[in-house]
Chain A
Amino acid sequence: MSGHLTYQPQNAFMQWMERRLPIAGLVYSSFVVYPTPRNLNYWWTFGGILSFMLGVQIITGVVLAMHYTANVDLAFNSVEQIMRDVNYGWLLRYLHANGASMFFLAAYIHMFRGMYYGSYKEPREVLWILGVILLLLMIMTGFMGYVLPWGQMSFWAATVITNLFSAIPLVGESIVTWLWGGFSVGNPTLKRFYSLHYLLPFVIAGVVVLHVWALHMVGQNNPTGIEPKTDRDTVAFTPYATIKDGFFMVVFCILFAWFVFYIPNFLGHPDNYIPANPAVTPTHIVPEWYYLPFYAILRAIPNKLLGVIALGASIVILAFLPWLDTSKVRSARYRPLYRQFFWTFVIVCIGLGWLGSKPPEGNYVLFARIFTVYYFAYFLVILPLLGKIEKTKPLPNSIAESVLLEGKPIGAPAPPPPLAKA
C-alpha cells in the first residue's frame, strides 16, 4: 500500500485507546493492510478454516460442558440427555463431534498444502514446527474428548492407548497407573480427561497465536515458492484475502452442515452408543478416522515398544521436514519428480488410514508394513536424496510475472534464485 502501513485513528476515543492498548493497530497491521501474496489459491484458506473450527469447537464445547457430567455412572446418560432434552442439544453435540472431524480434515489438508508448496522451508521452519505441536495437541484433545461419552469405544480406546505407555521400559507400568489414577481406566481417568479436554483447546489457541505471529514475521508462502519482491506481488489482506477466505469458509461450512444435519453418525462408530462395559471387549476396537493412519503404523510393527516408538516417530518426524528436504526449490510446481513421490505419499497416508480400520490379519498387515516403510522412507530417504538429484523446472522471476504470464518465465529460463538468508 502506498499509504500508511500503520493505523491512524481518527476519532478521539480511538486515539486515547491506541496510546494505551494498541489492539486496533495490531488488527489493522496484521489483518487489514498486511501484504499477502496475490497468487494464493484456495488451499491457503485452510488456515483460516482451522481458526474458525477451533472457535466452533471451543464455543460448542463450553456450552456442552454446561450439561455434561463426568462420572462413569452418569456420563453416557448425560450425553443422551443433551441429545434429547436440552434445547438444540442434539445440534450442539453433533456440531462438536463432527466438528472434530472437520477440524482434522482441514488440518491434514493444511499440512499437505505445506508439504506440496514447501511452506516448511527456510525461513518458515519454526512456523512449521509450531504446526506440528498444534497437531500433537489436537490429537491429545480429540482422544480425550472421545472418551467423555463413555461408550464402548470411548472406554476401550482409552484402555488401549493408555496401555501403550506400559511399553516404556522400567517406568512404563507406573506411568500407566499414574495416567489412570487407578488400576484400570475408571472414574478418576474420566474426570481428569474431562479437565484436560477443557484445558487443551485454550493451549491450542495460545499456540495458534504463536503460529500466526511466526507466520506474519516471514509472510505467507505462495504457489510459486518465490518470495514477494515488489508491491506488485502482494495485495492487502483486507479486502482481498478476507473475501476469498470468507467465501471458501462458507463452502466448507456446507460440507460441515451436510455431515451435522444429514449424516451425523457417519464418521462415528455404532459401538459408542453402547454404554461402556469393562467386561465386554468390542470385536474390533478402532479409533476415529483421523487417527487411523497412525493406528495402522502402530499395529504394523510386531514389537510393542517399537510400535509405540514408530507411532510417535511418525508425527515427530514431521518436525524435521525442513532439514530432511534438501531441495533449494520450494514449490512442487517446479519439482516434477518430487510431485510423483508426494502424491504417492498422499495415497500411502490414505491407504494407511483404510488399513487402520481393518482387523490386523493377513494381507492387511502386509500392506500396512509396506506403506509404513514408504511413509518413513519418504522423509528419511526420498526427500534428502531428491533435493540433490532432481532436475527442477525453471522458476518465474516473480509472483507478478507468474500471474501475468500464467507461470511462463520471460526470456531465458532463470536459474532458481538463492533463498534469502534469514
Chain B
Amino acid sequence: MSGAGGSRGRLHAGKFTQPAQARLQAARSLRKLVAGGLTEQERDRTVTTMSSAEPTRRDFLYIATASVAAVGAAAALVPLIAQMNPDASTIAAGAPIEVDLTPIADGQVIKVFWRGKPIYVNHRTKKQIEEAENVDVAKLPDPQPDSARVKPGHSQWQVLIGICTHLGCIPIAHQGPYDGYFCPCHGSIYDTSGRIRQGPAPLNLALPPYEFVSDTKIRIG
C-alpha cells in the first residue's frame, strides 16, 4: 500500500538538504498526528508522496487546504450555535413594556410580567416611604439606602422583580412585620423597599431596568 512511498522515502532521505530535511521531519510529524502514533520505522514506510524537488510548496498546499477546511468547519458551526439564541419573536416579546401608573391607588401593588418575570409596581403610602427611609442602612443584611432603589423624585413608586433571591419563589406583597414582602417558601421577609430583613435570602429584591417616560407612565426594559 503506502509501502511504495515508504521505500522511496528511504532511498531519497540522504539526497535532501538540511532545511529540506527539517521540513520533511515537520511533514512526517504532521502525518504521525494524523495516523495516530506510529513507530519510527512505520513512519518511514508510511511516508507517501516525496517530491524531491519542492517540499515547501507541498507543505504549503497541505497547510493551506487544512486551514481553509478548518475555516469552513468553523463557519458551518455558526448557524448551529446561533439558532439556539433567542429568536426574533422572543426578543420582540421581551421588548420594553409601558405601565400606566394612574390606575394604581395609594398603597396598592400590581404585578406585571416582563420577559417572563413578575414585576411588582408598588404605590407606596407616606408611612411606608418613611419606614423605608428611616433605617440604619449599615445594620441591613444587604446594605442599600432606599434612595438607591427608587428613581429621584418618584420615591412613592417601588418597582421590583418579584423573585425571592433565595431560591426563586415569588414573595407575596403587603405581608410580614414590615408591611413589605414575605416569601412563603422559606420565610424570607423583605421591607417596604424590598430589602431583605430576615430569613435565608442573601440579597435585596432586584430592580428591573426602568425609567419614567412621564409622571404617570414607566417603561420597564
Contacts and interface: CB of A to CB of B under 8 A. Distances in A.
A32 B48 CA distance: 13
Contact of B83 (A11, A32, A86, A240): A86
B134 interface: no
A85 B89 contact: yes
A265 B34 CA distance: 40
Contacts of A66: 83-84
A44 B1 CA distance: 19
A234 B1 contact: yes
Given A3-B45, A87-B79, A87-B82, A236 B38 contact: no
A89 interface: yes
Given A35-B1, A85-B89, A88-B82, A236 B46 contact: yes
B6 interface: yes
Given A4-B42, A33-B1, A28 B35 contact: yes
Nearest to B35: A32
A1 B79 contact: no
Contacts, number: 92
Contact of A1 (B1, B39, B83, B87): B1
Given A2-B6, A236-B46, A14 B36 contact: yes
B88 A239 contact: no
A81 interface: yes
A68 to B, nearest CB: 12
Contact of A3 (B37, B42, B79, B84): B42
B41 interface: yes
Contact of A87 (B7, B39, B48, B85): B85
Contacts of A84: 88
Interface string B60-98: 000000000000000000111011110111100000000
A3 B36 contact: no
Contacts of B168: none
Q: How large is the interface on A (under 10, 10 to 19, 20 to 34, 35 or more residues)?
A: 35 or more
Interface string B169-207: 000000000000000000000000000000000000000
Given A8-B39, A9-B36, A32-B36, A87 B45 contact: no
B79 A235 contact: no
A3 B3 contact: yes
Contacts of B46: 1, 3, 236
B214 interface: no
Contact of A85 (B7, B39, B78, B87): B87
Q: Indicate the member of A3, A67, A89 with the most B CB atoms within 10 Å.
A: A3
A154 B157 CA distance: 55
A363 interface: no
Nearest to A60: B80
Contact of A2 (B3, B48, B83, B90): B3
Given A14-B36, A32-B36, A85-B89, A1 B84 contact: no
B2 interface: yes
B160 to A, nearest CB: 31
A59 interface: yes
B88 A85 contact: yes
A238 B46 CA distance: 10
A89 B80 CA distance: 9
A366 interface: no
A91 interface: yes
A81 B89 contact: yes
Given A1-B3, A85-B87, A236-B1, A59 B36 contact: no
A22 to B, nearest CB: 12
A3 B41 contact: yes
A63 interface: yes
Contacts of B45: 1-3
A238 B88 contact: no
Interface in A1-29: 1-4, 7-11, 14, 24, 27-28
A231 interface: yes
Nearest to A5: B1
A89 B88 CA distance: 11
A92 interface: yes
Given A3-B3, A63-B80, A86 B35 contact: no
Contacts of B7: 2
A232 B83 CA distance: 50
Nearest to B85: A87
A148 B9 CA distance: 57
16 contacts: A1-B3, A1-B45, A1-B46, A3-B6, A8-B39, A8-B42, A9-B37, A10-B37, A28-B35, A32-B36, A33-B2, A35-B1, A81-B87, A89-B83, A91-B79, A239-B48
Instruction: Pick the 6 closest A-B CB pairs, nearest first.
Output: A88-B79, A10-B37, A2-B3, A85-B88, A85-B87, A1-B1
Given A32-B35, A63-B80, 16 more contacts: A1-B46, A2-B6, A4-B39, A8-B39, A9-B36, A11-B37, A67-B83, A81-B87, A85-B88, A85-B90, A86-B88, A87-B87, A91-B79, A92-B83, A231-B1, A236-B46
